[in-house]
Amino acid sequence: MINKFLGFEPDKSKLPSATAKIGADLDLSSHKYQKIWLGPNHPGVTGNMAIELTVEGNTVVNAKTHVGYLHRGFEKLIERRLYVQGFPTSIRMCVAEPDTNEYLIATCTEQLSGYDKAVPEMAKWLRMLSLEMARLQGLLRGVPGQGGTFALGLGVQWGVYLRDLILDRFEELTGARVYHMYIIPGGVRGLLPDGFKERMEDNLMDIDDFIIRIRKLMFHNSVFKTRAKGLARITPEMVDKYGIVGTNARGCGVKRDVRKDEPYLHYDKLDFDPPTDSDGDIYARTWVRWQELIQTVDLIRQIMAKMPAKGDIKAQMPNVLHWQIPKGETYVRLESGRGEYGMYYVTDGTDKPRRVNLRGPSYTHAIALLEDLLVGADVADVHAIMVSLQTCPPEIER
């Protein structure tokens, strides 16, 4: 970038080999290329994963993602647990937004056993509240985290503090800070405590304030602008080719949001419009996420206003110890903070599932897409590109 001010900028496309993807032809013994491992022991990597970079000078010529450091074999473990035992296990599949796993596994079992119509109204609203709070705490880490990759550490300090306030509300509602186990098959576990809405409103006002300040801090900052603009561009043609979902797709103008396309719960009763941008670079993606932060705060307010005051929170379900689901299969999806998040669930008529397969957005973002976006990027930008795709390794390897 500094070359711009010096009046000279080399045209990288004309340089040999730096932008060409050579793959297996890279001859490491020529001493032209060097191998650098980014992670797993690296403070900048999003979670415990590694990228094997082959660099030429400062430019990445080849990248390979290595996952499996967080592999616990959930899908195998759930196969040997009862439906209700598999429940607390499965929600630990992704730590960034565990509530989405709760909703998926609860809905899959309800659909296959025919209880999906029996879920009470109140429970559906509370599920939505829990899911939106999870999205909010994810965004409070994600949006300033993108600034953090360009050395704007202050936003991270604010964001993590505000996220903690949301975790406090979660603790009040569910009794746990991170793994809530609130959305259970048939409904939810509890009603709102007294005064919850007022305390939540207090926190939301703090977050409103934060949203305005983070805009000044990040989007009006020349360092952030110079580095994020035009970096790691996703074009609309790439969206279907790579299976890009969520904010990464919306950042380049492809408006896909499961909440709008196939409304689940009561999302059709809420007034919202998923934000989009046209550029598709890191700046646009972060901008979309920042708008989504405003929208999520608004959605939580809407949910708390439209929600009935009281009502049943759990349907009459069969005895969980003897619960058998007939043979069948289903796929349920929802919109998490990172994009479409789905679960393929197969039952075989016994008291345990036959197969559970999670489809996380990072599965495509962090491997196929990231490896291609990194080619030609600077080593210093690798971390920013990873964070901008919101890669989350536990949902890749489960």
By the rule CB under 8 A, 359 interacts with another protein: yes
Q: Which of 331, 376, 378, 379 binds another protein (CB under 8 A)?
A: 331
CA-based nearest residue to 92, from 116, 73, 64, 115: 73
By the rule CB under 8 A, 324 interacts with another protein: no
Helix%, strand%, coil% for the chain, nearest 5: 50, 15, 35
Query: Site map for another protein, 218-257, x if CB under 8 A?
Result: ----------------------xxxx------------x-
Q: Which is nearer to another protein, 10 or 43 (CB)?
A: 43
Q: Which of 43, 216, 278, 308 binds another protein (CB under 8 A)?
A: 43
> In angstroms, rounded to a whole number, what is the distance separating the alpha carbons of residues 143 and 249?
16
Q: Which of 56, 118, 141, 215 binds another protein (CB under 8 A)?
A: 141
> In angstroms, rounded to a whole number, what is the distance separating the alpha carbons of residues 389 and 268?
28
Q: How does strand 34-38 pair with strand 50-56?
A: antiparallel
By the rule CB under 8 A, 268 interacts with another protein: no
By the rule CB under 8 A, 105 interacts with another protein: no
> In angstroms, rounded to a whole number, what is the distance separating the alpha carbons of residues 72 and 397?
8
Q: Which of 48, 59, 221, 295 binds another protein (CB under 8 A)?
A: 48
Query: Site map for another protein, 57-86, x if CB under 8 A?
Result: ----------xxxxxxx-xxx-xx-x--x-
By the rule CB under 8 A, 355 interacts with another protein: yes
Q: Which is nearer to another protein, 26 or 304 (CB)?
A: 26
By the rule CB under 8 A, 312 interacts with another protein: no
By the rule CB under 8 A, 372 interacts with another protein: yes
**99 and 182 Cβ atoms separated by less than 8 Å:** yes
By the rule CB under 8 A, 164 interacts with another protein: yes
Q: Which is nearer to another protein, 160 or 231 (CB)?
A: 160
By the rule CB under 8 A, 328 interacts with another protein: yes
> In angstroms, rounded to a whole number, what is the distance separating the alpha carbons of residues 103 and 93?
13
Token pair of 207 as six digits = 């977050």
- What residues pair up with 282 in beta bridges, in sequence order? none
Query: In this chain, which stretch among 119-127, 265-273, 303-311, 365-373 interacts with another protein, using CB under 8 A?
Result: 365-373
Q: Which is nearer to another protein, 96 or 192 (CB)?
A: 96
**Long-range CB contact pairs, 45-49, < 8 A, 24+:** 45/383, 45/386, 46/386, 46/387, 46/390, 46/391, 46/392, 46/393, 47/391, 47/392, 47/393, 47/394, 48/393, 49/366, 49/391, 49/393, 49/396
Greatest extent of the chain over all pairs of C-alpha atoms, in Å? 75
The number of helix segments (H) and strand segments (E) in the chain equals 16, 8
Contacts of residue 134, Cβ cutoff 8 Å, sequence gap at least 6 = 97, 98, 99, 100, 336, 337
By the rule CB under 8 A, 179 interacts with another protein: yes
Return residues touching another protein (CB under 8 A). Answer: 28-29, 35, 40-43, 47-48, 67-73, 75-77, 79-80, 82, 85, 88-89, 92, 95-96, 111, 141, 156-157, 160-161, 163-164, 177-179, 240-243, 256, 261-262, 321-322, 328-331, 333, 340, 342, 344, 346, 354-355, 357, 359, 363-364, 367-369, 372, 394, 397
